[in-house]
Structure 1
Amino acid sequence: MQSKEPETLYFEESGSIPNNPDLPVLFYKGAFKDDPEKAESVFNSHNWRNSWQGGVFDYHHFHSNTHEVLGVISGSAEIIVGGESGRKVEVHPGDVIVLPAGTGHKRLTASENFKVAGAYPDGKDHNLKTDQDNQRTQLLIEIKEVEIPSQDPVYGESGPLLSLWKKEQ
């Protein structure tokens, strides 16, 4: 599979959602359009593990201790990324969204058959934070401490995530 540049989406803090001050959301439109079912196995082969299949919560939430990848397997949905003042994105089978630690996301609408595969770098266990978690200083420290993944979840060692997600030294 030839590497294709994802759309990059930057978000500042949005109300009680911290988002990620350093890293953009990556949106790989149609990355697996020929075979959406293979998303989870590809993520796993690129060391994005602890995978699952299901939906996206219908409330704003984020993970302060790890990044997350979501690959659409079936159906379609509208998801808001980046908190209340974030951006609404339509997702369809084969689309992939990579959410850096701290980035809020919420399902607004979805078809009945909407299903995603999700995974985390190095199989990290994720925490679940909502807009009710107001320990701002601690959350920002946790978010900044999350390591950059060793591989792009879609393209592996040669993927664009590795050049797009460089932390300031």
Structure 2
Amino acid sequence: MDKSQIIQQAYLVSEILEEDENFPNNKSMPLLVYKGALFLHPDDNDDTVKQIFAENNWTNAWTDGIYDYHHYHSITHEVLGVVCGTADVQFGGPNGKCIVLTRGDVVIIPAGVAHKKLSGTDDFSCVGAYPHGAQYDMNYGNDAERPQADENISKVHTPELDPVYGNEGHLKECWN
């Protein structure tokens, strides 16, 4: 695989998402959306995306859709790379921001940021991965999750590498 033919400059959306009901989000690290970061050829599949993420130390990868209920991870960040289809995804909780994701888009979700698929095509799938193959927890916005989730989020460090662009990515400049 020649990464130079797959990875391209992307339109960056960067936004801090404020707390929404029982979803803490992340006050210091913005959600990063790389629209069109991956120019996936028809023969490219989830293994192509997993390899790009793995080369930048984002592993423990899976391929699936996005849950249709609000949830977040308090002990790690997450990256999603869209492999197929289109989905409307809400970030930040019930009053959060809705973003349309399509093949080749990449989203870097800071610890604590809620996400939920509102709708999507039947063929929608994405690759998810975590810095250094971190394990993840599942939180659903229940009262009992906090303040432990807030404490966990405060301890999650900025990854050394951007999952797509490595040392050249926006992650370090936006998350420091």
TM-score scaled by structure 2?
Answer: 0.90
Equivalent residue for 1:114, pick from 115, 121, 124? 124
Equivalent residue for 2:24, pick from 18, 39, 54? 18
Counting matched residue pairs gives 166
Instruction: Name the amino acid aligned to 2:140.
Output: T
Q: 1:163 Cα shift?
A: 1.1
Instruction: Name the amino acid aligned to 1:50.
Output: N
Q: Which residue of 2 aligns with 1:30?
A: 36
Q: How far apart in 2 are the matches of 1:154 and 1:164?
A: 15
Q: 1:6 Cα shift?
A: 2.0
Long gaps (5+) in structure 2: 1-6
Aligned structure 1 segments of 4 or more residues deviating by more than 3 angstroms: 1-5
Any idea what the Cα deviations from partners look like across 1:53-79, whole Å, max 9, x if unmatched? 001000000000000000000011000
Q: Percent identity?
A: 39
Q: Which residue of 2 aligns with 1:144?
A: 154
Q: 1:138 Cα shift?
A: 1.5
Q: Which residue of 2 aligns with 1:42?
A: 52
Equivalent residue for 2:75, pick from 65, 69, 72? 65
Contact map agreement 2:64 2:125 (CA 8 A) in 1: yes
Q: 1:136 Cα shift?
A: 2.0
Q: How far apart in 2 are the matches of 1:95 and 1:48?
A: 16
More displaced stretch, 33-42 vs 97-106 = 33-42
Q: Which residue of 1 aligns with 2:99?
A: 89
Q: Which residue of 1 aligns with 2:3?
A: none
Q: How far apart in 2 are the matches of 1:126 and 1:133?
A: 19
Q: 1:3 Cα shift?
A: 4.8
TM-score scaled by structure 1?
Answer: 0.93
Any idea what the Cα deviations from partners look like across 1:120-163, whole Å, max 9, x if unmatched? 00100000111225332221111010010010001011211011
Equivalent residue for 1:132, pick from 142, 146, 149? 142
- What is the aligned-residue RMSD (CA, Å)? 1.4
Q: How far apart in 1 are the matches of 2:146 and 2:140?
A: 12
Q: How far apart in 2 are the matches of 1:155 and 1:21?
A: 24
1:51 aligns with 2:61: yes
More displaced stretch, 118-127 vs 3-12 = 3-12
1:74 aligns with 2:80: no
Contact map agreement 2:10 2:36 (CA 8 A) in 1: no
Q: How far apart in 1 are the matches of 2:167 and 2:93?
A: 30
Any idea what the Cα deviations from partners look like across 1:22-64, whole Å, max 9, x if unmatched? 1000000010133463222100110000000001000000000
Instruction: Name the amino acid aligned to 2:163.
Output: P
Q: How far apart in 2 are the matches of 1:55 and 1:135?
A: 24
